[in-house]
Amino acid sequence: MSTFGDLIGKEAPIVTLPDQDGTSYELKPGSKGVPTVVFFYPESGSFGCTKEACQFRDAVAEKVTFQQGKVEIVGVSVDPVQKQKDFVEKYKLNYPILSDEKGEAVKAYGVGKGMFGMVSVARVTFIIDKTGKVRDALDATMNYGKHAPFVAKWLDKLSGEDDGGAQEEVTNAEPQPAAGEALAATA
């Protein structure tokens, strides 16, 4: 079984899923010429998932690097379309939320269960550069507040690469298990 860590340095999977309106959405990182952020989360409307989704929503409204045309942000959970629609409308989310009821994207991206198997899907965020290559992933199911800052650091780094400038390596503020370690413990 492959894990999300196996994707780092490789081309991101392409998946087509229904968005919150039931419209088929092709998630094809790199096709728009901007970095892509794909964040998987356990359940639309739950406390931590709502906080995480709203942090991304607020970043899109407040930070230049998160604005349309600079990055594609997409949320994914295994919730049905209607639940995704209610979630987007209630919290005024300004990016697509995809319904992965059959677990196709979860499998393609190697996202396992979270919280030692107690949650059906881990909270994992992928950073994919403008060519479609997975650059990094963060697995922090319990720490929903860590994902938006992780993405902000990476977007700054990728922007610096585009400008030809040298940027310091992006690292997480807290030590994290090597890619796939936490997943292996929960699978």
Q: Which amino acid does the sequence have at 99?
A: S
Dihedral angle over CA of 76, 78, 79, 80, nearest 10: 100
Name the residues annotated as catalytic.
49
Q: How many residues does the chain have?
A: 187
- The CA–CA distances, whole Å, from 84 to 38, 63, 89 equal 16, 25, 9
CA 175 to chain centre: 20
**How crowded is residue 62: how many other Cβ atoms within 10 Å of its Cβ?**
9
What's the sign of the alpha-carbon dihedral 179, 147, 91, 23? negative
